[in-house]
Structure 1
Amino acid sequence: MARKVPEVNASSTADIAFLLLIFFLISTTMNVDTGLTRMLPPMPEKDQKQDDVEVKRRNIFTVLINKSDRLLVRGEPMDVQMLKEKTKEFIMNPNNDPNLSEIEEKEIPMIGRYRVSKGVVSLQNDRGTSYEMYMKVQNELVAAYNELREELSTSVFGKPYQKLSKEEKDAISKAIPLRISEAEPKNVGGK
């Protein structure tokens, strides 16, 4: 006669699998795609008239990237490695050059009187522009602002920008506002 094999109680197997699933879902980290951090301007008041802000041509630092990943800055071809220094020069306008951005003296809390640029960096690219080139240009533009803020932070407060208090960072941001305008990509060279 055949011996009976004892049955294995599998009633809790589903519960254990469910608990393991929950454990791994909770303890696992997911890679999150990161994008560019940009603050949008605040929404206008409901009763405020929607007028287009007119910016003088002198105050616009136009950066164009074509589908061949070539850079055109204010109508002149430029290498991407020169972009950061040219952007800094445009923003600060150290010699009051009439071809660079206008400067306005402002009283800034914690800093005092400071020469604030009215300049805006206008970035536009072709639909065929490579993502790599677009990111290189973005990085150079943001690096220009970051370096200027770092220099001002060190000279005024004697410490790096990252170690400043919120109030001190706000003062630096008022002195060197991040003004990068991005236009919708176009088919500049193609159909």
Structure 2
Amino acid sequence: MARSKGRGSQEVNAGSMADIAFLLLIFFLVTTTMASDKGILNILPPKLDPNVPPPDIQKNERNIYTILINANDDLLVEGEYRRSPDGLDKEIKEFVLNFGAPTEKGVALYNTLPATVQAQALRRPESSDDPTEAVVSIKTNRGTSYELFLEVFDLAKKAYFEIYGERVGLTAEEYRKLTGDDDATQALLDRGKENLPMAISIAEPDKIGGN
């Protein structure tokens, strides 16, 4: 009886596996979109010339909306203690849209506002003179949490974006998403903030509650 010949062990050629893995790696590197965190998109002021003294800017206190955040994340808003920043956007918007003692620029700005925005304008003499004079000042301690600072900062920006959006018939979120990639959206961006800059001042933190 003939004996069956045993088959020899079959080996898989692994030489091409490395080439395939390399090609797959290149494929995913080329086709994968990486998310990028853009952070806070703010334009910083130019560096001051050390040989030139800083300008002496006189500002009436009623034109400055002060927000202080201590190392325990407690807030002092216009001298009033509070634990939460809830509602700050609404209050800041009322402050900015106040015409307590409008300047010529303020009167000119008011006349360009649509009726819906004019209807929201206040005339409190103890508040800001007009939107062209209003400044929102945010000051922290070294120990203030970054999360709370960003929340307060974003609420201040939201107040302005609501005004800008309403000037061109958009919501705050719709205006915020405008990219300015074309002439039409750039025109909306410019018309929304025309003669009304986003005046948010970030003061130097106090050395309290941190290193």
Q: Fold match, TM over 0.5?
A: yes
- Identity fraction in percent: 39
The normalised TM-score by structure 1 is: 0.71
What's the offset of the Cα at 1:88? Answer: 1.5
What's the offset of the Cα at 1:65? Answer: 0.6
Q: Tell me if structure 1 keeps the 8 A contact 2:67–2:138.
A: yes
- Which residue pairs with 1:89 in the alignment? 94
Q: Tell me if structure 2 keeps the 8 A contact 1:67–1:126.
A: yes
Query: Greater CA radius of gyration, 1 or 2?
Result: 2
Q: Which has the higher strand share?
A: 1
* CA–CA distance in structure 1, aligned partners of residues 151 and 47 of structure 2: 32
CA RMSD across the alignment: 3.5
Runs of 5+ unmatched residues, structure 1: 97-101
Partner AA of 1:54 in structure 2: I
What's the offset of the Cα at 1:40? Answer: 2.6
User: What stretches of structure 1 move > 6 A for 4+ residues in a row?
Assistant: none
The normalised TM-score by structure 2 is: 0.66
What's the offset of the Cα at 1:35? Answer: 1.6
What's the offset of the Cα at 1:60? Answer: 2.4
Report Cα offsets for 1:88-140 as digits up to 9, x if no partner.
122122343xxxxx6442667xx59x964222222111222223322221221
Q: Give the SS at the match of 1:175.
A: coil
Partner AA of 2:55 in structure 1: D
Q: Tell me if structure 2 keeps the 8 A contact 1:64–1:72.
A: yes
Q: Does 1:17 align with 2:37?
A: no
Runs of 5+ unmatched residues, structure 2: 119-129, 179-183
Q: Tell me if structure 1 keeps the 8 A contact 2:142–2:210.
A: no
Partner AA of 1:105 in structure 2: K
Q: Does 1:173 align with 2:173?
A: no
* CA–CA distance in structure 2, aligned partners of residues 121 and 104 of structure 1: 21
Q: Does 1:187 align with 2:187?
A: no
Q: Structure 1 6/86 Cα, relative in aligned 2: closer, same or farther at 3 Å? A: closer
Q: Structure 1 18/184 Cα, relative in aligned 2: closer, same or farther at 3 Å? A: farther
What's the offset of the Cα at 1:181? Answer: 1.8
Q: Tell me whether 68-77 or 24-33 shows the greater mean CA deviation.
A: 24-33
Partner AA of 1:184 in structure 2: E
Q: Give runs of aligned pairs for residues 1-191 of structure 1, distance below 5 A.
A: 3-41=7-45, 43=46, 51-52=54-55, 54-58=57-61, 59-78=63-82, 79-96=84-101, 103-105=103-105, 111=112, 116-154=131-169, 161=175, 165-188=185-208
Q: Give the SS at the match of 2:144.
A: coil
Between the two proteins, the alignment pairs up a number of residues equal to 176
